[in-house]
Amino acid sequence: MTATSHTTTTDRLLAAVQAGVEVYDLGRRLFFGMPQSPNHPAFLLTLPRRHGDMVRADGGSAANDLLVMGTHVGTHVDALAHVSQDGRLHGGADASAAGAGGRYVELGVHTIAPMVRRGVLLDVPAALGQEFSPAGYEVTPDDLDATVARQGTPVGAGDVVLIRTGWGRHFDDPDRTRYVGHDSGVPGVGADGARWLADRRVHAAGADTIAFERLAPGAGHSALPAHRILLVEHGIYLIEAMDLDGIAAAGVHEFTFVMAPLPLFGATGSPVRPLAVV
Ligand code: UVW
């Protein structure tokens, strides 16, 4: 890049910021007791040192947290090391061959570059004339096509595509099991919807649900075909437990998607706070 084009790009970004941008927070609040998959270690945030526990000579003191959580808890991204099929990771790597210390050096979450990309929200229930997708409903390629057509937002290579089902309304439900949906099932794409995304060569796909894809009633996480197709077969990252209601309510379907996973060396996932910038 030449100095001139660099300046031009910077100027354009600065001008946009100065003109004012809308920022939608697509991450969920992390709190003790929030719904999460029992497949992953529970979230725990404590305050082992409180103000006053150690007071400096000048009268000041600090409070310090201790955080314990799985990397697939709350809004999070799945790295390519997260899922294997028949012992193989994306690209054919041996899934049992985690590197020193059990870390996934080649496909760990630290290998996911920060994302600043075109984002598309596919508000499926809005397109189908529903308030939300029913429990256990499979979002089909026809539904995705209908949503794209209604919104006028085609999906292209390199995009980050976020699929709203409306299931996110259960995240703050006092019954914490509702969002996880092991009994009821959870709406989302199945194998066919995953292939629809893969055919369009998206960079990442996200949803407002616990596991991105449809969970059949009573089946829990026993079969996850979209994880296999997207992560293992096509190297497409997944983002789960997103908050897509605010951006949907604003009627924003196209935006700049911004997200930086924590560079947890060799980890299978990372908590994230994705943003949609308009
Ligand atoms: C959950 O189970 C929450 O999904 P994943 O394991 O794909 O992160």
Query: For residue 11, is it within any domain?
Result: no
Whole-number pLDDT of residue 101: 67
Task: Indicate which CATH number applies to the domain containing 167.
Answer: 3.50.30.50
Number of independent structural domains in the chain: 1
Q: Which domain holds residue 120?
A: 18-277
Of the candidates 171, 177, 144, the residue with the CA atom closest to the CA atom of residue 240:
171
**What is the pTM for the complete model shown?**
0.92
Ligand 1: which of 182, 210, 214, 228 to mutate, judged by most atoms within 8 Å of the beta carbon?
Answer: 210
Q: Is the CB of 73 under 6 A from ligand 1?
A: no
User: Ligand 1 centre and the CA of 199: distance in Å?
Assistant: 23
Query: For residue 9, is it within any domain?
Result: no
Query: For residue 3, is it within any domain?
Result: no
Query: For residue 39, is it within any domain?
Result: yes
ipTM of the complex: 0.91
Of the candidates 24, 20, 97, the residue with the CA atom closest to the CA atom of residue 255:
24
Element (H, E) at 146: helix 141-151
Query: For residue 53, is it within any domain?
Result: yes
End-to-end CA distance of the chain: 26
Q: Is the CB of 194 under 6 A from ligand 1?
A: no
Q: Is the CB of 213 under 6 A from ligand 1?
A: no
User: Ligand 1 centre and the CA of 213: distance in Å?
Assistant: 10
Query: For residue 179, is it within any domain?
Result: yes
Q: Which atom of ligand 1 is nearest to the CA of 36?
A: 3
Q: What is the pLDDT of residues 50-80, one digit of tens each?
A: 999 999 999 999 999 999 999 999 999 999 9
Query: For residue 251, is it within any domain?
Result: yes
Q: Which atom of ligand 1 is nearest to the CA of 78?
A: 8
Q: Is the CB of 211 under 6 A from ligand 1?
A: yes
Q: What is the pLDDT of residues 81-125, one digit of tens each?
A: 999 999 999 999 999 877 656 788 899 999 999 999 999 999 999
Residues 241, 263: Cα–Cα separation, whole Å: 20
Q: Closest Cα to atom 7, ligand 1: which residue?
A: 211
Residues 46, 9: Cα–Cα separation, whole Å: 44
Q: What is the pLDDT of residues 215-271, one digit of tens each?
A: 999 887 778 999 999 999 999 999 999 999 999 999 999 999 999 999 999 999 999
Torsion of Cα atoms, 12 then 17 then 19 then 24, to 10°: 130
Here the tokens at position 58 are 């000048």
Query: For residue 12, is it within any domain?
Result: no
Whole-number mean pLDDT of the chain? Answer: 93
